[in-house]
Structure 1
Amino acid sequence: MSSVTTKIPYNSLTRFMTTLKLTQPITLSRSLSTTTETRTQKLERIADELLDLTKLERYDYSILFRHKMGLNRYGPALSGPSSAGAAAAGSGPPEAKAAAEKTVFDVKLEKFDASAKIKIIKEVRTFTDLGLKEAKDMVEKVPVVVKKGATKEEADSIAQKLKELGATVVLE
């Protein structure tokens, strides 16, 4: 079993710790100076705890921290007070935005007239690389996705042809 190792930017961590030790609280009032002192002590305690972690624990912590801050590879996090304000500031519901940005569609055959079954099988064969038996089996398994990953124009064309033959088609 192999172990996971990562390089921790030690220079940035030491720079952070030295700035913590050099920072002096601003003494505008007694309550402000005690608040600043407790913040500094808290940050020093956190830094000490981070230094006590093993490499694997630091790696897990870095992933968790990025996730909590919304810096993961899947885009910004959608939780917390700041994201709620950002979502409220957006125009329209998120579903409408996702539908407007969608470029790849799946053509799903919902149902069809029994009298048009042979025509639909022939049409399915024209836009897929299926043989007669495979196309027949696919059409008989309704509802089924007959074309995956089609562009908007291609999906509309396929849906229109199938609707003309008496089928009910949905673009997903």
Structure 2
Amino acid sequence: MQIKQWAAQASVRQWCGLGLAMCCLMMAVALYLQYGVGLEPCPLCIFQRVAVIIAGCVFLVGLLHNPRRRGGLVYGVLALLAAAGGIIVAGRHVWLQTLPPDSVPSCGPGLDYMLGALPLWDVMSRVLSGSGECALVEGSLWGVTLPQWTLLGFAIMALIPLALIVTRLRGSAAAQPAAAA
């Protein structure tokens, strides 16, 4: 079966299974880099993990629920929002790593301290503004930094809910003329 035919015939469960597999792959790589290689995640890395986990939860619920028609759109939009959040955070991380050393923001307190001492909104705004630890390039593969790989992962992940949304919209548009006849 060709990819285009599969995509047109895939159920919400199949799309969500594909998205969940992508999220599991991204988390497996992140956990391997942390515990296998010894790279400690910076605050922006942790926020990227949160976006992967949120998208994974949406995909998991969609996989278990396997709704018809409009329900697939809801899961697609929610997963796309999670992937978009990850793209924004990973993009910010990539941008921080491209700054000249004298333009990098100074390191602030650790994420654990901020979560205990500050309101969540302040923590989010401080983390997203970035710090010196987020600008350090600690590893790369084939000349691509880890935040760049993560950004690519989120972009690929975003294609899955986009395809889910498109196929649900095409399916409901095809069903409407048939129902009217």
Higher strand proportion, which one?
Answer: 1
TM over 0.5: no
Q: Looking at CA atoms only, which structure, 1 or 2, has the larger radius of gyration?
A: 1
Higher helix proportion, which one?
Answer: 2
TM-score range, shorter chain: under 0.3
TM superposition score normalised by structure 2 = 0.24
Higher RCO (Cα < 8 Å, 6 or more apart) = 2
